[in-house]
Structure 1
């Protein structure tokens, strides 16, 4: 076959990881990657990520585990009831094979280093190139950018995040095609492609670890990952480096679930606002608020049940396809899993130009059910952290949880432990083996 040109729009963790996977597994095939980043450089929003065994298994396969582990931190995970008169810890989370945390920008740096090691000639980076739309034909995809330039590729992968222009164009195309025979279906497709609010505002802050130690030397945030449970709101804190603690204060209005959020997705906030919302939480939380620097408020949105991640020669990856709330600690991990499966499919020696639509359909078939399930698990876990009655396991009494009943909290913790088994029970390699079998069937029919 001739040269296969892959356009990746979005230079975040998912897009860069896809390039790393292609670099690792490309063999004799002539592949050229054009990586388009809307900003002037590679950058990540958000503070920290948590990597579980599923993600770490991919990093080992890609030869990145040592670089990752050298920069990551690992701490025990504690569940704590924080809005009672006498707060108490009620569960230490058991994580087979462990979980680790590190700053998102460090993860980005590791990926950039992997790509720069051999300065691969197949990778061309383009900064300040924001995709506006694309057009497909039988032979490829034409990309149109904000600066009025165009480019051509055999494959387009949209990894731009929740506001993905690739997704917007894909679903505009799907709706237009559906509208000729089913107007209702067309509107359903357009609606499914729109991000909606979870009802949660996340107030994000970074703490200087030494500053907090001086002010509150016994604060649990210093050397533990803690989930601070409360009715209608909760806090997550964990060190992401020797000098920095990531803290997220989450406040939920259940009536906001799946509504369209009005206003900017991110806005500056203040310590006074957070202190007021969390005034009935314990002293460790109040100390963290007092010692925080800048606080920003994020409207936590998600994309639920997107009906397809691929169309023809175009695929969606990461938050472009399945943006999720942070409670399952899986957003970056899911993007890495997407990149692993899609990259190995595209790098497979049996793939021809004519196979691309079928290859992307295999990616969709394998990845979409798993990522969609992670979106739902994350949403429900957030409700459990906030003791929302409609999110609780059968038989667990909300009134007793709110009052701090230790038996009910133990039952809740057991259910949450079970929901997290996904992270270590089965590995992405099994999904790749399934995808490869499907790909071999496609190649055999050609």
Structure 2
């Protein structure tokens, strides 16, 4: 097949690698004029790394990544540790692959370079897909410059504001969650004693929480700090906010959080929206993946990884079935239960992390502390359903 992919982000590039590995020609149509530094840190858990291993790109992904020592839960004020689950030495032993922190730009570069090595000029920059037309035999992507390109399959990996989804299902109706996230990246060398721990650390508190971890072999500190807000804002990765407002949102919190907010050269402010499940993910020879069909709130750190899983399963099923529309329906049936469960888990965590009343905190975090102290295997096991899942095993129910 000739597979057209709208969107050169993580899901689109993984899909391109997966289809190319199976012998298909791929064309990735990316609206940006070049690869850039937009975005910040990502957590790639073992279920995502197994896909990269199957596609032969794990070494490239690991090259500039950081392997966290643990997953931690701490109080935002005071920094007291509630839970610590080993990762660096335990991830491969328990879940079969590494757990990594990567800068989004590094991951996109690693995937794009691997694709370019395998098929020259597979990624076309400055080409934005705005609509599609199709027949029984082909599909044509129409671009914003009035040109078009035809192929056998069109994959909508064009993100949360997907033009492919809008044509397929009409305008979406996002719901403001009442949460706004501050995002920042700071060199660790500028933070001194207030550098974040070498872990994936969630800091919890009343009506807000923060997540810190390291990137680029430990040289960068990444922060996502979420606060409840009654005022809806624009849904954008690139909107910035004032340092004064950010520090006010997290005043009297750990010096680690304060230092990053103080030293960050740019503070992005990202309003979080949720969406209802879609009626369908495909239309004839057109299919959606990743944020285009199941956008994730960031409270389980699985948004990118779900797109990575989608990409692998889609390529496998579309290659095995001669009836392409039927294969796309099978892909949706295989993926929707899992992505829906992850979406729901992320929604629950939004509440779990924002306990403010001391009695509620004790009732919530006391059992978590007890499990970490006396039942560490049980604490580890809470993530098995996510991290041990293996979409590269297509022999049974692991799709």
Category of TM-score, reference length = shorter chain: 0.7 to 0.9
| Deviation of the 1:417 alpha carbon | 5.6
The answer to whether the Cα contact below 8 Å between 2:11 and 2:304 also exists between their aligned partners in 1 is yes
The separation in 1 between residues aligned to 2:291 and 2:359, in whole angstroms, is: 37
When the two structures are superposed, what TM-score results if normalisation uses the length of structure 2? 0.88
Secondary structure of residue in 2 paired with 1:325? coil
CA distance in 2, matches of 1:322, 1:44: 24
Aligned counterparts of 1:196 and 1:163: Cα–Cα separation in 2: 14
Equivalent position of 1:130 in the other structure: 128
Size of the aligned set, in residue pairs, is: 384
Give yes or no for the alignment of 1:67 onto 2:67: no
Cα distance in 1 for partners of 2:335, 2:259 equals: 42
SS in 2 for 1:322: coil
Q: 2:329 aligns with which of 352, 361, 374?
A: 361
State yes or no: 1:119 paired with 2:119. yes
**Matched ranges for 1:37-48 at <5 A:** 37-43=30-36, 45-48=38-41
In the TM superposition, what are the counterparts of 1:205-354 in structure 2 within 5 Å?
A: 205-213=184-192, 217=193, 219=194, 221-241=196-216, 242-253=218-229, 261-263=232-234, 265=236, 266-348=238-320, 351-352=321-322
Residue by residue over 1:265-293, the C-alpha shift from the partner in whole angstroms, topping out at 9 and shown as x without a partner, is 34211221111111131333222222222
1:410 paired with 2:372, answer no
Q: 2:85 aligns with which of 56, 78, 93?
A: 93
The whole-number CA distance in structure 2 between the counterparts of 1:362 and 1:142 is 23
Distance of aligned partners of 1:383 and 1:94 in 2 relative to their CA distance in 1, 3 Å threshold:
farther
Give, in whole Å, the separation in 1 of the partners of 2:101 and 2:212: 11
Tell me which residue corresponds to 1:77.
71
Q: Name 1:382's counterpart in structure 2.
A: 350
The CA deviation at 1:156 is 0.9
CA gap 1:195/1:419 in 2 versus in 1, 3 angstroms: farther
Q: CA deviation at 1:82?
A: 1.9
Unaligned runs of 5+ in 2: 92-97
Normalised by the length of structure 1, the TM-score is 0.79
Q: What residue in structure 2 maps to residue 110 of structure 1? A: 110
1:371 maps to which residue? 339
Q: Which has the higher helix share?
A: 1
